[in-house]
Amino acid sequence: MSILQTIKDKVRSRSIHVSYVDLGSCNGCDIEVLACLAPRYDIEQYGIYVHNNPREADVLIVIGAYTPGWQEKLTPLWEKIPDPKAAIAVGNCPISGCCFNRRGAYIDPPVSKHIPVAAEVPGCPPRPTEILAAILSVRDAVFANWEGRQR
């Protein structure tokens, strides 16, 4: 691995920009992601910044069970994120649809049908520490030596 790659890896591992998108959840996972910002969990000590702007994001946190309103919007949103990128499904809804996955509901889980998902955090809702651990685990798996693996 070249020196340039080593520097890139080091910088990337300490600067992760996060965007989150709600595809129709109950809001419970939403506020647990927001709670990660609180000084108690202090997401910024790991170099993770929540900007909610897809064009400068590295990690997309996906919450919710994929409602029809997102059919033409989620894939363009995913394509706007520059490489290297990863999506994390937070909560039961993007994984299985949770309690909304019944006959008659307007949802289409899992989200991995529509965009590639790198990590899944089950729970209804998961604790902020679990969300934080998932972001940190994705950091090493997806961003390390990205250019080298592309070749």
Partner 1 sequence: MKHTVDVNIPLGPVHPCFKEPARVKCETKGERIIAAEVELGYMKKGIERIMKGRPWQEVMFLAERVCGICSVIHNMVFIEAIEQVSGIAVPPRAAYLRVVANELDRMQSHLLANFSYCYTIEHETLGMYLLDLREKVMDVIERLTGARVTCAYIIPGGVRFDIGAQDEAFLRESLARIEDDLTRYTGMFESGPMIALRSRGIGILTKEAAMQAHAVGPTARASGISVDRRTEHPTYRQLGFEPVVRTECDNYARIMVRFGEVFQSIRLIRACLDNLPEGVIRGGGTCTAGETRYSGEAPRGELTYIIRTDDYGRVIDIQIQTPSIMNIEACCHVMIIGVDSVADVTSTFVSADPCIACTER
Give the nearer residue to partner 1 in terms of CB position, either 53 or 145: 53
Ranges within 84-113 binding partner 1 (CB under 8 A): 98-100, 102-107
* Distance in angstroms (rounded) separating the CA atoms of residues 95 and 121: 8
Interface size with partner 1, residues (CB under 8 A)? 43
Q: For residue 114, what are the β-bridge partners? A: none
State yes or no: residue 28 binds partner 1 (CB under 8 A): yes
Binding flags for partner 1, 49-88, as an x/- string (CB under 8 A) = --xxxx---------xx-xxxx--x---x-----------
Collect all residues with Cβ–Cβ distance below 8 Å to 58 and sequence separation of at least 6.
12, 16, 17, 18, 81, 84, 85, 86, 143
Strand extents, DSSP E, the chain: 16-22, 48-50, 59-63, 86-90, 119-121
Binding site for partner 1 (CB under 8 A): 19, 21-32, 34-35, 37-40, 51-54, 64-65, 67-70, 73, 77, 98-100, 102-107, 124-125, 127
